[in-house]
Structure 1
């Protein structure tokens, strides 16, 4: 009897020990970091049918970070709200990416475009985490996603390091009260045309809906980010589920280094830089490749959308960003071993 009781107690203790480990094994840590020179208010939204996160919105002062635990098989999106405050009516609101809740917590509200988005599906098809940075709904703030640890084909850093608010085309530009650019619309939001929204007759995939000069403005500046709805081939990244935590950084070019564990495989997508060395685009019509349409030139000078953040030159931003990405991912799938960083 004593031996039976002892075995039962050992079994119970072992089960309790396993139970204490289970939450860690069935959760993924997202660390949101503000490297901007101004306060950012992250918003978080869980996808339909997935568990809620412990928070849906908070403030991050410059240099501040906050970790958020996401449950297994979670999907959703994260973004950075800017120029926020409480009005005379007591409601909290933001000039960009407002979620309409009237409070710091978004409480199930999504981001109002234009807005840069980080999108995640954990433990998806093939036991992989899928993630991307999307400018399909426009852009308001530079951001990056960096897997910490992680394994599997296609596990690498992605994002948009460029501040596009200054060079944004005039017909997409959103200006603040002082006239400075605070966000950049997508062509879909600005014009509502089916060919820009990949809707109606243009909803059949990349063959039906091709990149436009407007979407290529975003793609040229941020080659790894989604620029329009069917940009999957160069903009979707994956890590083996359960092997990575994720760092979501606002204004990543301001960081002294960007570290990421990435994997090189023979099946990796074509090489793409993390940042272009210019924010200019020689616009061409959708049919330019077939010889029709003469195209028009766009040239932009970079500028900051926030007075508190000095505007470095385009070359300085590109050099810093490219160096940081290369040092952090010298074994990455998009770069050969170029630097002994």
Structure 2
């Protein structure tokens, strides 16, 4: 029987977390960052003191786990097409924060952003106001209050990006889609001047393209009703190139909790043992 690829990575992640995952206090939030893309990415976080200094590498299928205090407020995004030397200096096709491997500031546009304010309750969203470079979703786990729904963009804007917004990399391929504000810098597209309020700043033809592909992500500055989410005492899985219905798991305070698609509820030792079996089988096949 062939294993569903949508279950393999979550189960593999469960095993890793069960063995070595952090066990923080009740007041902290566990962030699990996963790369489901077919390419290596270089996630960035600002401020990044709790996230490996603000930058790290994830190959296809890899994940990293971090713990942030409730007071943390910041953004997470993915960098693509990066080349860094042994000193951590280099550049990326999209999402660069200067020339540094570990980001000490926000990245260059265009970049899909996951934004968080950890409080009581937490506020979180995925924003395309600064453009798009990777599909990106945020899934809360084990939270309460608010709507605690998955946020983000599981569509890929790059193939259908309007040519006037497209950013091209090597070989002429589209690697990002800029926002209309970034390209044209008008008050209407940037929601400034006479348009600096939710009454006058309305969706444009460009933001509608973003919204159609990504209905639960910010497409322009005042796109609040369908784009900002709240949840209390939750952990978060930030997934690149994954469906909002993808099965995800987090390990917090000695308890494994999963949110899964299609009615699957992976919770308990049964799923941990299955995950260990998958790892052992995988290792055996590569020996």
Same fold, TM exceeding 0.5?
Answer: yes
Q: Which residue of 1 aligns with 2:207?
A: 215
Cα drift, residue 53 of structure 1: 2.0
Assess, with a 3 A threshold, how the Cα gap between structure 1 residues 228 and 91 changes in structure 2: closer, same or farther.
same
Residues 239 and 86 of structure 1: is their aligned pair in 2 closer, same or farther, counting only changes over 3 Å?
A: same
Is residue 172 of structure 2 the alignment partner of residue 179 of structure 1? yes
Shift of 1:98: 0.4
**In 2 relative to 1, CA 139–329 (structure 1 residues): closer, same or farther, beyond 3 Å?**
farther
Q: What's the TM-score, normalizing by structure 1? A: 0.64
CA distance in 1 between counterparts of 2:39 and 2:249 reads 25
Deviation at 1:27, TM superposition (A): 1.3
**Cα deviation per residue 1:84-103 (whole Å; 9 max; x = unaligned)?**
00379983111101011x23
Matched, 1:27 2:28: yes
| Residues 251 and 90 of structure 1, relative CA distance in 2, 3 Å threshold | closer
SS at match of 1:38: coil
- The structure-2 alpha-carbon separation of the partners of 1:181 and 1:325, relative to structure 1 and needing over 3 Å to count, comes to farther
CA deviations 1:118-139 (Å, max 9, x no partner) are 000001xxx2000000000000
The equivalent of 1:258 in structure 2 is 247
The change in CA–CA distance for 1:328 and 1:140 in structure 2 (over 3 A counts) is farther
Q: Is residue 112 of structure 1 aligned with residue 118 of structure 2?
A: no
**Structure 2, unaligned runs of 5 or more:** 1-22, 251-258, 266-287
Post-superposition shift, 1:259?
A: 4.7
Conserved in 1, the CA contact under 8 Å of 2:121 and 2:146? no
Residue equivalent to 2:227: 235
| Aligned counterpart, 2:83 | 85
Q: Calculate the TM-score normalised by the size of structure 2.
A: 0.76
Deviations 1:174-193 (A, max 9, x none): 11121110000000001001
Structure 2 match to 1:145: 138
CA distance in 1, matches of 2:220, 2:83: 31
Cα distance in 1 for residues equivalent to 2:229 and 2:51: 25
Match of 2:281 in 1: none
For residues 256 and 129 of structure 1, the distance between their equivalents in structure 2, rounded to whole angstroms, comes to: 21
Q: Please give the residue correspondences for 1:251-330 in structure 2 after superposition, counting only pairs within 5 Å.
A: 251-253=241-243, 257-259=246-248, 327=262
Q: Secondary structure at the match of 2:208?
A: helix
Deviations 1:203-237 (A, max 9, x none): 1x221111100000000111100000000111000
Matched, 1:64 2:62: yes
Which of these two proteins has the greater Rg computed from alpha carbons? 1
Relative distance call for 1:72 and 1:89 in structure 2 (3 A) is: closer
Q: CA RMSD in A?
A: 2.6
Q: Give the aligned partner of residue 117 of structure 2.
A: 121
Aligned residue pairs: how many?
Answer: 234
The alignment partner of 2:210 has SS state of helix
Give the whole-Å Cα distance in 2 for the aligned partners of 1:235 and 1:213: 18
Secondary structure of 1:233's aligned partner: coil
Q: State the structure with bigger RCO (CA 8 A, min sep 6), 1 or 2.
A: 2
In 1, distance between residues paired with 2:263 and 2:91?
Answer: 36
